Amino acid sequence: MRSVLNNTKNLFFIVLMLSLALGFIFVKQGSAKGSSREVIKKEKNLEDINKRLREGTKSLEGLSDKETSILSELSVINKRLNAVRADVKRLKGELKSTEGDIKQARARLAELTAEREELSERLKKRLRAIYMIKSGGAVRVLFSSVSTE
């Protein structure tokens, strides 16, 4: 964008110089011929060219201001994008850590569930054994609060 802007400025400068040079040449020729009408016409033409050149320069200055504004906005957007990328990276790390915690909790839950099943089976066997020997004194000994010592 800057190279186009510089090329356009250079082009306007060249046109200005050429128009000034042509104006001087025509003024000299016009005075030699004595035709004041042509001189006035050429001067008016030169003024029109200068006017267009000034307008072009103003529009280039406006474009330069727009370019600066756009570059400023892009800089702000780039900073925001970098901040969002940093947040995403941090959140991915937290997610990975949380997934690891969940995996450990599931493993622990599986261990505890297996242990509970094992204890439940033991309890069933003990209750069955107690039921089988309930008619004897073994039940009274097992559940008595008095120590045999």
Angle at 145 between CA 141 and CA 148, to 5 degrees: 60
Q: What is the pLDDT of residues 25-54, one digit of tens each?
A: 655 554 445 577 887 888 888 888 888 888
Of residues 95 and 5, more confidence is placed in: 95
Q: What is the pLDDT of residues 50-92, one digit of tens each?
A: 888 888 777 777 777 778 888 889 999 999 999 999 999 999 9
Cα torsion 103, 109, 113, 119 to 10°: value is 130
Supply the pTM of this predicted model: 0.43
Q: Residue 43: count other Cβ atoms within 10 Å of its Cβ.
A: 14
Burial of 42 (0-12, 13-18, 19+ CB in 10 A): buried
